[in-house]
Structure 1
Amino acid sequence: MPDPAPETRLARALAQLLADNDLGDYRPAGPDYTAAEHGILIDRPMPTTFDNCTLITPQTPIADGRANILYRVQLFTRVKGTVTDIRAHAHAIFALLDHAERTPPILGISWTEEYSRMHFDADTQKRVAVAQNFSFRGRRGH
Structure 2
Amino acid sequence: MLDPAPETILARALAQLLADNELGVYRPDGDAYVNPEHGVLIDRPLPTTFDACTLVSPQVPIADGRADILYRVQLFTRLKGTVADVKAHAHAVFTLLDHAEYTPAILGISWAEEYSRTYFDADTQKRVAVAQNFSFRGRRGH
TM-score range, shorter chain: over 0.9
Aligned to 2:34: 34
Aligned to 2:2: 2
Aligned to 1:64: 64
22-31 or 99-108: bigger deviation: 22-31
Structure 1 stretches of at least 4 aligned residues deviating more than 3 Å after TM superposition: none
Shift of 1:49: 1.4
Q: Deviations over 1:85-128 (max 9, x none)?
A: 00000000000000000000000000000000000010110000
TM (normalized to structure 2)? Answer: 0.99
Q: Work out the number of aligned pairs and report it.
A: 142
Shift of 1:31: 2.3
Counting only pairs closer than 5 Å after superposition, residues 61-140 of structure 1 correspond to structure 2 as 61-140=61-140
CA separation of 1:30 and 1:59: change in aligned 2, threshold 3 A = closer
Shift of 1:30: 3.4
1:54 maps onto 2:54 in alignment: yes
Runs (5+) with no aligned partner, structure 1:
none
Instruction: Work out the CA distance in 1 between the residues paired with 2:99 and 2:92.
Output: 13
1:21 maps onto 2:11 in alignment: no
Instruction: Work out the CA distance in 1 between the residues paired with 2:41 and 2:34.
Output: 13
TM (normalized to structure 1)? Answer: 0.99
Shift of 1:48: 0.8
Instruction: Work out the CA distance in 1 between the residues paired with 2:136 and 2:41.
Output: 19
Runs (5+) with no aligned partner, structure 2:
none
- Matched to 1:102, the amino acid is Y
Structure 1 vs Structure 2 CA RMSD:
0.5
Instruction: Work out the CA distance in 1 between the residues paired with 2:17 and 2:31.
Output: 20
Percent sequence identity over aligned pairs: 80
